[in-house]
Amino acid sequence: MKSNDGHDAAILVIADALKQGGIEVILGGYDLTVDKFVDAIIQEGVHFAGISSYNGGHVPFFKAVRDALKKKNYPYIHLIGGGGATLTPEDIEILEQQEGIDKIFRAGERDSVLPYVNEHFDFSVVPEEPEALLEGVKTGDELALSKLINLAEEKARLDSLIEDHRNTVHHEENKNRATSLPDQSYWEEIGGERGILKTIERYKKCLSTLDNLVRERPSRVFGITGRGGSGKSTITDELILRFFKDGRMENKKVAVISIDPSSAGSGGALLADRIGYIYATDKNWVDTRRIFIRSVASRGYGQGIARALPDIVKILKAGGYDIFIESYGIGQPDIGVTRVADQSIFVTTPDVGGAQQIEKEDMLNIPGVVVVLNKSEHRGSRHISSLLRKKVPSERLFLTTAIEHRNPGINSLYQSLTQHLN
């Protein structure tokens, strides 16, 4: 979703309603250009893209997005939009009838967005020819990467369903059945998805062929974790900015995998980290052709990551990317990210609590973890940093103020993380 200006209230209301309805919503950003919006759609592999526009100038904007997606052969998309009363009935007619926009919602119609999405979401658009994507992955074609990641997420979803099924069967004390795949009647029950299993089997084979490629293309995986609000997105963004200003990184590409929790009740999610990457998505600051950002919902997997994460990491490694994983933190233990990352980074803040809290923090016991005390200008910073010093050696502890541009703490952190990268 994108908003053309600061009027974001309606976007957030709709995003929340979709989330409550079980949909994963990615906030694309404010005031996007056509290019940025299309990049976001492709990298995120979304099925619906919504534009909220309030200021006028929207008819040509919608049209330009539609044209750009066509040009890039993006297959899945439903384009929807709204923005209140500045979209006149005449505009709506032009957009829906002539410009191939699927649906424009008028002021007061926000309740119809969720039913529309539910009605028009089609599982059959998910299967791909995975083999055909491999070449694209090797050359770093963003659309191929995105499609393969979609399959990775689809596989993870099915694995979860099968696991749930086994657990249910297990409880019914039918252990023989529990070891086999669910039968046809099960798939009919959950929506007739048996056909996709074949695609997933092919996907798995394809993924194993990537192993060689991954070995040939050494890349580093940084896993950033910490509580919500500790500044992970800002730190990631600032690190990426430095990466692109660093002469050593001229030929390198960066991918960001940003994981946010799914709602336990509805299964929906609001993935908003992309908005926080103000430098990483702006071509005035970085070479956006060398950066790939993907938002991922945890889908109840726990430990601050998603079931599909190892596959996604593998695909992006094969694409030749160095990777930042931004894990989510809702408490402890969120240490799942340490299993896929070469270097774990734990972000904390001065309001974390006292010595007892720090004692309990599992992340501090991960060998080689880098610890960032962000918001170090806040009260309590001296106390917390001295407690942290007892747990981690000083060369792995960084005091930062990430909201300050050119912050020396972030500079040191970047230098330390990249000292072995060439």
Q: What residues numbered 228-257 form the site for another protein, per CB under 8 A?
A: 234
For tokens 């074949």, what's the residue?
198
Q: Site size for another protein, by CB under 8 A?
A: 39
Q: What is the crossing angle of helices 9-20 and 113-120, to 10°?
A: 50
Secondary element (H or E) of residue 208: helix 194-216
Q: What residues numbered 97-116 form the site for another protein, per CB under 8 A?
A: 107-108
Beta carbon of residue 301, minimum distance to another protein (angstroms, whole number): 24
Instruction: List the x/- string, 180-219, binding to another protein by CB under 8 A.
Output: ----------------------------------------
Residue 366 sits in the site that holds another protein (CB under 8 A): no
- Secondary-structure percent of the chain, ordered helix, strand, coil, rounded to 5: 50, 15, 35
Beta carbon of residue 287, minimum distance to another protein (angstroms, whole number): 16
Residue 5 sits in the site that holds another protein (CB under 8 A): yes
Beta carbon of residue 376, minimum distance to another protein (angstroms, whole number): 14
CA dihedral for 143, 148, 150, 151, sign (positive or negative)? positive
Tell me the window of 8-16, 140-148, 178-186, 318-326 that interacts with another protein (CB under 8 A).
8-16
CA 239 to chain centre: 17
Residue 71 sits in the site that holds another protein (CB under 8 A): no
Q: What residues numbered 118-177 form the site for another protein, per CB under 8 A?
A: none
For tokens 């926080």, what's the residue?
276
Query: Of the candidates 380, 370, 383, 379, which has an alpha carbon nearest to the alpha carbon of residue 409?
Result: 370
The residue within the footprint of another protein, chosen from 124, 185, 250, 406 (CB under 8 A), is 406
As a whole number of angstroms, the distance between CA 298 and CA 225 comes to 14
Q: Measured between alpha carbons, how far is residue 62 from residues 7, 100, 270 in Å?
A: 18, 9, 23
Residue 342 sits in the site that holds another protein (CB under 8 A): no
Instruction: List the x/- string, 255-284, binding to another protein by CB under 8 A.
Output: -----------------x--xx-xx--x-x
Q: What is the crossing angle of helices 142-171 and 34-44, to 10°?
A: 40
| Contact residues for another protein, defined by CB under 8 A | 4-6, 8-9, 12-13, 27, 30-31, 33-35, 55-58, 60-61, 64, 84-86, 88-89, 107-108, 234, 272, 275-276, 278-279, 282, 284, 403-406
